[in-house]
């Protein structure tokens, strides 16, 4: 239960054991692209933001980039120049961890290394008040493991933004098994006050998006490795037939193989080496070579100035084969996430459309595709390969048997 008061033009919502304000003192740890993007979002929402990085050069550069970003938004008419100045003034920069001590919420956005994150959370807990919320922006690591480093693990929760944070509407909210149940609704309300769309996800590897999206990359690479089609043709199939804004190889190169491969490897390991999440040697070799994609100038594609780009095949039968194979694997993974109560059907579909810009929610898409057709396509793949990665989710078989769909309408 809560009630609202207006006080000095601030709306304060009182909960049983804490106070939620629409304007807060929020610390961000890590001034890279994600940390800076989160700082921009929170400052624009009227919060006092302290952006911290242990590297003084990195935090200074982040400040310059943020100032330029607000200036650019004002020049484009997205906000007034006065607003841009106000929002930027909401952000302070620091290379001293101790300056985070007055934060009411801290969001960590550093390297995806569990031990480094646990060490950071121990240090943060020794600095801040007992009421300060400690959040991680991890994309795949266990929230429970991170929380275990704290004396008060009930204050720890996952708040996972998507890159670029100012543009992507979705935020995954992931409670650990230790998280105070009241904190979940509090954080959901907070995310909404930042003009973002929160979805609640279970603390399992990859949460919603980074779990469900794995076949978009993995099955595309498998098709490439089998010699069925090249990168350009596979990308063209998914953009032209599927309506995806980027093909899987374009997207992996855009994300960076230093990020995308690590997430794939992490999800595979954390799912006890389930073969459906198995990484590919093709992507691993790019990662090992430092061919990270756009950021390094080379990945699946060559981004050098005079590089020749191959043209995709326009064979309709080949394009249909590629599109259908990747799509059924995506729908199957979304179905499995729903079957295992990772999130509601609505939140899974919202996550995929708002977190990675899929043209449709995958469960709604599965209903339109026909669950019986989906089951048959998966069984055909399994019968050909006899690999566990192609196993049909039990919920699909059950719904087909009962002549039902994911959505009633």
**What is the C-alpha separation between 293 and 303, in angstroms, rounded?**
8
Examine residue 117 and state whether it is found in any structural domain, yes or no: yes
Rounded to 5°, the CA angle 396-399-405 comes to 100
Examine residue 205 and state whether it is found in any structural domain, yes or no: no
210 in active site: yes
Q: Which residues contact 94 (CB under 8 A, 6 or more apart)?
A: 50, 51, 52, 59, 100
Q: Is 397 found in the same domain as 302?
A: yes
Q: What is the dihedral of CA 340, 342, 345, 351, to 10 degrees?
A: -150
**What is the C-alpha separation between 397 and 392, in angstroms, rounded?**
8
Dihedral (CA of 329, 331, 334, 336) sign: negative
pLDDT of the residue at 216: 98
Examine residue 206 and state whether it is found in any structural domain, yes or no: no
By DSSP bridging, strand 19-21 and strand 10-14 are antiparallel
How far is CA 79 from its chain centroid?
27
60-88 b/e (C-beta count within 10 Å ≥ 16 → b)? eebbeebeebbeebbeeeebeeeebeebb
By DSSP bridging, strand 48-52 and strand 25-29 are parallel
Q: Is 172 found in the same domain as 238?
A: no
Q: Is 194 found in the same domain as 260?
A: no
- Last residue of one domain, picked from the residues 200, 231, 252: 200
- Polymer length of the chain: 409
36 in active site: no
**Which of these is catalytic: 31, 137, 142, 210?**
210
Q: Is 155 found in the same domain as 216?
A: no
Q: Dig out the tokens for 59 from the structure.
A: 């935090």
Examine residue 409 and state whether it is found in any structural domain, yes or no: no
Q: Is 368 found in the same domain as 224?
A: yes
Q: Dig out the tokens for 3 from the structure.
A: 């009630």
Q: Is 221 found in the same domain as 148?
A: no
The residues facing 107 across adjacent strands are: 28, 135
Q: Is 32 found in the same domain as 123?
A: yes
pLDDT of the residue at 309: 86
Q: What CATH number corresponds to the domain at position 100?
A: 3.40.50.720
Q: Dig out the tokens for 75 from the structure.
A: 């020049």
Q: Is 268 found in the same domain as 287?
A: yes
**Which of these is catalytic: 48, 160, 260, 266?**
160
SS (H, E, C) 233-301: HHHHHHHHCCCCCCCHHHHHHHHCHHHHHHHHHHHHHHCCCCHHHCCCHHHHHHHHHCCCECCCCECCC
Q: Is 215 found in the same domain as 178?
A: no
Examine residue 335 and state whether it is found in any structural domain, yes or no: yes
Q: Which residues contact 388 (CB under 8 A, 6 or more apart)?
A: 274, 275, 276
CB contact at 8 A, 80 and 107:
no
Examine residue 407 and state whether it is found in any structural domain, yes or no: no
Examine residue 78 and state whether it is found in any structural domain, yes or no: yes
Q: Which residues contact 284 (CB under 8 A, 6 or more apart)?
A: 261
**Which of these is catalytic: 31, 36, 90, 139?**
139
**What is the C-alpha separation between 121 and 108, in angstroms, rounded?**
9
Q: Is 110 found in the same domain as 150?
A: yes
Q: Dig out the tokens for 350 from the structure.
A: 């919202």
139 in active site: yes
Domain of 303? 211-401
Q: Which of 323, 337, 345, 343 is nearest to 407 (CA)?
A: 345
**What is the C-alpha separation between 409 and 279, in angstroms, rounded?**
37
Domain count of the chain? 2
Q: Which residues contact 78 (CB under 8 A, 6 or more apart)?
A: none
Q: Is 154 found in the same domain as 24?
A: yes
Count Cβ atoms below 10 Å from residue 332 Cβ, excluding itself.
Answer: 27
- 360 to 158, 194, 338, 367, 409: CA distances (angstroms): 26, 25, 16, 11, 16
- Last residue of one domain, picked from the residues 140, 167, 200: 200
**Which of these is catalytic: 48, 104, 125, 172?**
172
Q: What CATH number corresponds to the domain at position 392?
A: 1.10.1040.50
Q: Is 357 found in the same domain as 249?
A: yes
386 in active site: no
Examine residue 40 and state whether it is found in any structural domain, yes or no: yes
The residues facing 45 across adjacent strands are: none
- Last residue of one domain, picked from the residues 131, 165, 200: 200
Residue 315 backbone phi and psi in degrees, to 5: -65, 115
pLDDT of the residue at 1: 26
pTM of the model: 0.90
- List, run by run, the mean pLDDT of 10-residue segments along the chain (409 residues): 30 38 86 96 98 97 97 97 97 98 98 95 97 96 97 98 95 98 97 97 96 98 98 98 97 93 92 95 98 96 92 97 98 98 97 96 98 98 97 98 92
């Amino acid at each position: 239960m809560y009630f609202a008061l207006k006080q000095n033009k601030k709306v304060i919502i009182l909960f049983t054991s804490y106070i939620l304000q629409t304007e807060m003192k929020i610390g961000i740890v890590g001034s890279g692209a994600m940390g800076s993007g989160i700082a921009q979002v929170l400052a624009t929402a009227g919060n006092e933001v302290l952006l911290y990085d242990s590297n003084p050069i990195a935090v200074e550069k982040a400040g310059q980039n943020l100032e330029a970003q607000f200036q650019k938004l004002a020049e484009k008419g997205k906000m007034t120049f006065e607003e841009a100045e106000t929002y930027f003034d909401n952000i302070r920069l620091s290379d001293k961890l101790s300056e985070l001590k007055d934060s009411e919420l801290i969001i960590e956005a550093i390297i995806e290394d569990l031990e480094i994150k646990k060490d950071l959370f121990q240090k943060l807990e020794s600095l801040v008040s007992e009421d300060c919320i400690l959040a991680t922006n991890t994309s795949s690591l266990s929230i429970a493991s991170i929380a275990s480093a704290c004396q008060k693990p009930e204050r720890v929760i996952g708040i996972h933004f998507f890159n670029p944070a100012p543009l992507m509407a979705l935020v995954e909210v992931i409670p650990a098994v230790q998280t105070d149940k009241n904190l979940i609704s509090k954080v959901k309300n907070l995310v909404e006050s930042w003009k973002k769309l929160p979805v609640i996800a279970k603390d399992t590897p990859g949460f919603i998006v980074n779990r469900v999206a794995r076949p978009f990359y993995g099955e595309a690479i498998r098709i490439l490795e089998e010699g069925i089609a090249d990168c350009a043709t596979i990308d063209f199939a998914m953009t032209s037939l599927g309506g995806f804004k980027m093909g899987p190889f374009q997207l992996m190169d855009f994300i960076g193989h230093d990020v995308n491969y690590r997430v794939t490897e992490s999800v595979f390991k954390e799912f006890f080496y389930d073969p459906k999440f198995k990484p590919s040697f093709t992507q691993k070799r790019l990662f090992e070579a430092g061919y990270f994609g756009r950021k390094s100038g080379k990945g699946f594609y060559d981004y050098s100035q005079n590089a020749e780009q191959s043209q995709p095949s326009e064979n309709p039968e080949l394009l249909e084969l590629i599109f259908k194979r990747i799509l059924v694997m995506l729908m199957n993974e979304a179905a499995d996430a729903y079957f295992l109560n990772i999130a509601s059907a609505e939140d899974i579909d919202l996550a995929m459309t708002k977190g990675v810009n899929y043209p449709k929610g995958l469960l709604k898409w599965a209903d339109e595709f026909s669950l019986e057709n989906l089951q048959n396509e998966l069984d055909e793949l399994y019968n050909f390969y006899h690999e566990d990665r192609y196993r049909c989710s039990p919920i699909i078989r059950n719904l087909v048997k009962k002549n039902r769909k994911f959505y009633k309408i």
